[in-house]
Amino acid sequence: MKQPNSNTHTPSPLSVQHLSMRYHHKPVLTDVSFEIPEGKTIAIVGPNGAGKSTLLKGIMGLEPNIEGQASFFGESLDKKRQAIAYVPQREEIDWDFPINVLDVVLMGRHGQLKLWQRPSQLDIDIAEQALKDLKMWDFKNRQISQLSGGQQQRVFLARALAQQATLYLMDEPFAGVDVATEQAIIELFKELKLQGKTIVCVHHDLNTVGEYFDWIIFINARLIAAGPVEEVLTKENLNKTYGGRLSLLNDLTEQMYRTQLNKAHDTD
Amino acid sequence: MTNDIWIIATAALVAASCALVGVFLILRRQALIGDAISHSVLLGIVLAYLITDSRALPIMLGGAVIIGLLTAWLSDSLHRVGKLQSDASIGIIFTLFFAIGVILISLYAGQIDLDQECVLYGEIAFVPFDTIYIGNLAAESGFDIGPRAFWGIGIVFTIVLSSIIISFNRLKTIAFHPSLALSLGINVIFWHYFLMTLVSMTTVASFDAVGAILVVALLVIPASSAYLVARSLKAMLWMAVGYSQLAVLIGYALAFWLDSSISASIAVSAGLLLFVTIAWQQVQSQRRQRQPIDSL
């Protein structure tokens, strides 16, 4: 017998089927398939060069896929573009570009505008609210080169927020940011989750992955494991993902042990 | 006197069009492709002339745009398919096209009213003598509406300016972050070739005035000066036009004083303005560094 609600079941915000990608004839990702739940925070985790950013770019169609596809809420990317906000890695952005903070955030509204249209007052209000949400209001007229790394990251998150998407794909939002920004991102995640939105992040810090995310996708050239944190954050999966890098792995287990100790102390 | 006005007006429009297009080339880090197109459009002009036997503006622009886009596309294909570095690919394609253009000119020298010197350096001083005459010349019933070069660049300037005004937001997003633009559903490839079309039209309309070599100076230098000081894209566009107009005026005075080539003097002035800007910035930043010590 079929599940009673299998027909009314809403399609997953992001479902990847048999995705393979190559870079200069070298396979980077092979046959990756997964499906994520709605309204959760999901981390893509793996060692350097494992293809985490490539996976995100392949999903967004920014780099050509050899095989496979991604569907969003059961539909193709072109039909759902406005519902998906992409936050590129901070290093990929030209921070010397002559543009101020508010204009960057307004770019989140450009997808909704016709060619000749200028942002309306509503667009500006939405952008300004996004800046306030990320506590960047005071910087709205700054040129982006005059911001710290964390502030730059918050500007890009505000841009994604202004797009009013339902699925957020972020490439290493926590990389090299200060404590205040890390807190601001966590707050943002909570707020977005309350609104039922889904967040997928490439994440590199195993110390925080269990704390910040509900779900983990382990990647190392292929899919190692995907599932809720409590099920997949195991020594075995870490071994499979980071295998061969023993010294690193030892450090990681030690770090994990320590964070668990800290947590134990915190709860005391 | 009227000749001077036509020369300055033509130079001003050439410089302004180049500056506006140049801003986007600089921001997209594609100054080299501007250089390439400015040379390879020569082939487009020659081919268009040989095929149609006409020097009408739409035909010249059409030939230039087709060859300009082909230059951009072939350079990119050579880079992707041939696995050559992108700057090497651009260098290969445009020199090839330019060389074919030069061969064609020398083969059909009798038929083509283009000499190689003029193509390379341009001669803006001769611009006022090639005018457009509306009506019947023999009956003297028509009238002279001014130099061909002026109207050519005038039309191109209008196209460039209105394109930028209409699609300002698109061009801004693409110049700032192409993958972000792509993720917003903007057709980045279309806009790339659109920009290449504007570059082709601008360079071909600037040919009579400044030639293939000096047009590169006008594409790159005023926009670079503006890049150093501007804090928004709108400001950068205004400043690039400002720098270019200043270069035209200083260059014209310089040419008058030295009795030398006008277009070369304009290019030199643009370069001087850039160095003055850099020097001024250095002085400013040193003064700023000294301030905390002074206040102690």
Q: Are A206 and A238 in contact (CB under 8 A)?
A: yes
pLDDT one-digit tens code per residue, A76-127: 888 888 899 999 998 888 899 999 999 999 998 988 888 888 899 999 999 9
Full domain range(s) for residue B102: 2-213
C-beta atoms of A82 and B185 within 8 A: yes
Is B62 contained in some domain? yes
Q: What angle do CA A235, A237, A240 make, to 5 degrees?
A: 110
Going residue by residue through chain B, which has 296 residues, state the pLDDT in tens, using 9 for 90 and above: 678 888 899 999 999 999 999 999 999 999 999 999 999 998 998 899 889 888 788 898 999 999 999 999 999 999 988 888 989 999 999 999 999 998 988 888 676 666 666 667 777 777 787 777 766 655 566 677 778 889 899 999 999 999 999 999 999 999 999 989 998 889 999 999 999 999 999 998 888 778 877 899 999 999 999 999 999 999 999 999 999 999 999 999 999 999 988 888 999 999 999 999 999 999 998 888 776 655 44
Nearest to A111 among B175, B184, B233 (CB): B184
pLDDT of amino acid A240: 85
pLDDT of amino acid B108: 82
Closest CA–CA distance from residue A149 to any residue of chain B (Å): 18
Q: Is B183 on the interface with A (CB under 8 A)?
A: yes
List, as one string, the DSSP characters of A69-135.
EEEBTTB-HHHHGGGEEEE--GGGS-TTSS-BHHHHHHHHHHTTS-TTPPP-HHHHHHHHHHHHHTT
Is B281 contained in some domain? no
Q: How many CB pairs under 8 A join A and B?
A: 73
Q: Into how many domains does chain B fold?
A: 1
From A80, which residue of chain B is nearest by alpha-carbon distance? B185
Angle formed by the axes of helices B262-295 and B233-258, to 10°? Answer: 120
C-beta atoms of A98 and B231 within 8 A: yes
Is B33 contained in some domain? yes
Is B37 contained in some domain? yes
Is B283 contained in some domain? no
pLDDT of amino acid B250: 97
Which pair of tokens denotes residue B65? 């745009």
Q: Pick from A183, A163, A165, A164: which is nearest to A173 by CA? A: A183
Is B73 contained in some domain? yes
Class of domain A15-233: alpha beta
Strands (E), A112-203: 167-171, 198-202
Q: How far apart are the first and last CA of chain B?
A: 60
Closest CA–CA distance from residue B49 to any residue of chain A (Å): 35
Is B250 contained in some domain? no
Is B233 contained in some domain? no
CB-CB neighbors (< 8 A) of A84 in chain B? 183
Q: Which residues of chain A have pLDDT under 70?
A: 1-9, 244-268
C-beta atoms of A98 and B227 within 8 A: yes
Interface predicted TM-score (ipTM) of this complex, two decimals: 0.82
Q: Are A215 and A42 in contact (CB under 8 A)?
A: yes
CA separation for the pair B34, B200 (Å, rounded): 8
Sign of the Cα torsion B86, B33, B161, B158 reads: negative
C-beta atoms of A57 and B186 within 8 A: no
The CATH number assigned to the domain holding B40 equals: 1.10.3470.10
Q: Pick from A63, A66, A67, A44: which is nearest to A54 by CA? A: A63
Q: How far apart are the first and last CA of chain A?
A: 48
Cα separations in angstroms, A2 against A5, A7, A12: 8, 9, 19
Q: Are A66 and A6 in contact (CB under 8 A)?
A: no
CA separation for the pair A96, A100 (Å, rounded): 10
